[in-house]
Amino acid sequence: MKTLKLILAMPCVLLMQNSFAQSTEPLKLSSTMPAPGEKVTFTYDPSNTVLAGKKPEAIVYFLDNKLYPAADINLKGDGKALKGEFTLPATTKAFVVKFSEGENVDDNDGKGYMYTVYKDKKPVPGAYATEAYLISSGMGNYIAKIKADKPLTADLYKKEFAMYPASEKEFQSNYYFFLNDPKNAESMALLNQKIAMLEKSNKEEDLVLANNLLARGKNKAHVDSLTAVIKSKYPNGLLARSEMMTEFYKQADPNKKDSVLKIYLAKYPDTTAKKTVENGMRLQVAGAYLNKGMLPQYEQQAAMLTDKTNLSSYLNSVAWKWAEKGERLPEAERLSKQSLVLVQTQIDNPASGSLFLSTPAKAKKAAQSTYDMFADTYAFILFKEGKFAEAVVVQKPVYEHNVNADADINEHYAMMLNGAGKYAEAMKVAESSLNAGKSSQGLKDALAVAYVKVKGSDKGYAEYFAALDNSVKDKLRAELTKEMINKPAPAFALKDMDGKSVSLASLKGKTVIVDFWATWCGPCKASFPGMQMAVNKYKNDPNVKFLFVDTWENGDNYLPGVKKFIADNKYTFNVLIDEKGDDGRQSKVVSSFGVDGIPTKFIIDKGGNIRFKHVGYSGSPDKLVDEITNMIEMINSDASQKVSMLIRK
């Protein structure tokens, strides 16, 4: 498989979160002031939550402001309630308990179940600040759908610094970046006061922090001036180091990247035991050589890695690329097999890798999923080499682990079965996949081949496939009907890549698909071949328009990279560039739409109302086109519009 299919006020609220006595709270802890090292038991009653009648799982996240480990909780039934327990690690400052079943999460009205850790009846140092960062950074939303809350965040930071003045130094970066809110005069006054104080410091780290805080604003001259001062005073310091690191990551040519690495390590040697920084940079060099097919140079760099685990993605990516083109297949087979060996070590020992916000069980499950994806690549290479029987043996467990979950896996398995002469089985696999809504042209082609071999001719195939296709379409529309909404779309006007302004209001009377994306977003980019297919399908329809809103990019000089990405991939997208929001990031319009993650698409009807919100990417370009096509047809159907309005009203 080509690629893998992601992390950032009231005392009464805190009291309610921590109170055992509150009978309305679904979750009740054994202690109102849990301490480090303490065993915490709890009772959870899901009857008045979104998990009522379901079988929830539970995870506890230990917030230590460093490693952020997690642990699975074994829930035991006790009447209508559930009981569980866990022990707080010694370094825990706060913790979050999450209850979920699949995609359903009990978010406790957006507050989550977050608790402070105490010692001697006082919050431990860093507890409130760690909670504040969790809420404001997006980490809370990521792990447990905890909503951002600016007043609560500000209150938590104030309480932390009032109780522990020394904490301000440790958490000042998080705090002052949080204060960057142009709409809040008080916050901006505090921020500017801090910047002025930092600029007077004789410490490089203070000047660099001031520079980073200024970079979020619009005073480029001030930033440039301070940058020059820092470089002059500390020519080999933190800023110079950061700029050399940036230069390293910018280099696409492996030889140049290798040269920058040598210079960097000569000036800033990694003296830590694990050599994490050096290993990460050397991994990039090895990957760059591998991407160019320069195997001797790749192997030289790989031999110097202290941790080879993350090589697996590079190996799989290159092996897949060669397999798709039918090039260097014996080498592709060897590289792919190496990737499987590396991932198997993660399955066998999940705790050996990073467990940031993950449990060993979750890490093992993720590693198994990765193994299946890479095994799909290996089997595909065997298929390309004409080793059909071997390919089926490798692909069978991959398919069984992901039955009808992935169109590519299903397509490859059906092709391999056809190659091995197992036509009846191939037909069954293809038909089952299509019935489940997992479609691709290759899968349809495999079905046609299998049908002819099983039936002896193509007689009746057109009628057979039409009936199957109609059944699939009916199922898809039934599912999409449940997702229909009807609310006004936020008004916006943004500039395209050429500086021309485009407003949503100017497109009233047309069906508009707004797709929020970023150049760093893997799922966004993976969805674009399918989105190009959709754009092509409707290119001659004047009543359907696509807007691709680039957002959440890093830094300020992102436009050239956006243009290059679109041009390099020959996409014919109408790309709009989001503007800076109140948080100082490129987030104005994406925030107005309430987007939590990308890619997110909105289907807007002719009246300017949002009718569908589609988050993520399923991995199938054909399915994406089918979904968009059906959503467009449904909102342009008078009957469907009336049904939707009745449901929502």
Q: What mean pLDDT is predicted for residues 606-610?
A: 95
pLDDT value for 643: 45
DSSP for 7-66, please give it.
Answer: ----HHHHHHHH-TT-TT-SEEES-SS--TT-EEEEEE-GGGSTTTTS--EEEEEEE-SS
- What value, to the nearest 5°, has the Cα angle with vertex 334 and ends 332 and 336? 65
Q: Is the pLDDT of residue 640 over 70?
A: no
| Final residue belonging to a domain, choices 482, 501, 517 | 482
Q: What are phi and psi of 575, to 5 degrees?
A: -95, 125
Both 450 and 590 in one domain: the answer is no
Residue 121 lies in a domain: yes
pLDDT value for 15: 31
Q: Is the pLDDT of residue 219 over 90?
A: no
Q: What is the per-residue pLDDT across 246-276, written as a single tens digit (0 to 9) for each?
A: 999 999 999 999 999 999 999 999 998 889 8
Both 19 and 166 in one domain: the answer is yes
Both 47 and 115 in one domain: the answer is yes
Strand 118-119 versus strand 487-488 pairing type = unpaired
Both 18 and 167 in one domain: the answer is yes
Q: What is the per-residue pLDDT across 55-103, written as a single tens digit (0 to 9) for each?
A: 999 999 999 988 899 999 999 987 789 999 999 999 999 999 999 998 8
Residue 155 lies in a domain: yes
Both 514 and 610 in one domain: the answer is yes
Q: What is the per-residue pLDDT across 323-380, written as a single tens digit (0 to 9) for each?
A: 999 999 999 999 999 999 999 999 998 876 667 888 888 999 999 999 999 999 999 9
Percent of the chain with pLDDT over 70: 94
User: By mean pLDDT, which of 194-203, 584-593, 632-641 is the weakest?
Assistant: 632-641
Residue 377 lies in a domain: no
pLDDT value for 1: 60
What pTM does this model have? 0.80
Strand 511-517 versus strand 544-550 pairing type = parallel
Q: What are phi and psi of 551, to 5 degrees?
A: -150, 170
Residue 621 lies in a domain: yes
Q: What mean pLDDT is predicted for residues 383-410?
A: 94
pLDDT value for 639: 42
Q: Is the pLDDT of residue 300 over 50?
A: yes
Rounded-to-integer distance, Cα 409 and Cα 377, Å: 9
Residue 344 lies in a domain: no
Rounded-to-integer distance, Cα 604 and Cα 612, Å: 7
Both 70 and 109 in one domain: the answer is yes
- Give the CATH number for residue 21: 2.60.40.10
Contact between 278 and 248 under an 8 Å Cβ cutoff? The reply is no
Which residue range is the domain that position 562 belongs to? 487-648
| Between 273 and 486, residue with greater pLDDT | 486
Both 597 and 448 in one domain: the answer is no
Residue 122 lies in a domain: yes
Both 427 and 541 in one domain: the answer is no
The total number of structural domains that make up the chain: 3
Q: Is the pLDDT of residue 6 over 90?
A: no
Residue 192 lies in a domain: no
- Average per-residue pLDDT for the chain: 91
Percent of the chain with pLDDT over 90: 79
| Final residue belonging to a domain, choices 147, 163, 178 | 178
Both 140 and 24 in one domain: the answer is yes
Both 580 and 443 in one domain: the answer is no
- Give the CATH number for residue 643: 3.40.30.10
Give residue 595's Cα distance to chain centre: 13
| Final residue belonging to a domain, choices 482, 497, 520 | 482
Amino acid at 309: T
16: pLDDT confidence band, cut at 50, 70 and 90?
A: very low
Both 445 and 516 in one domain: the answer is no
Residue 422 lies in a domain: yes
Q: Is the pLDDT of residue 313 over 50?
A: yes
pLDDT value for 190: 93
Residue 457: count other Cβ atoms within 10 Å of its Cβ: 9
Both 525 and 629 in one domain: the answer is yes
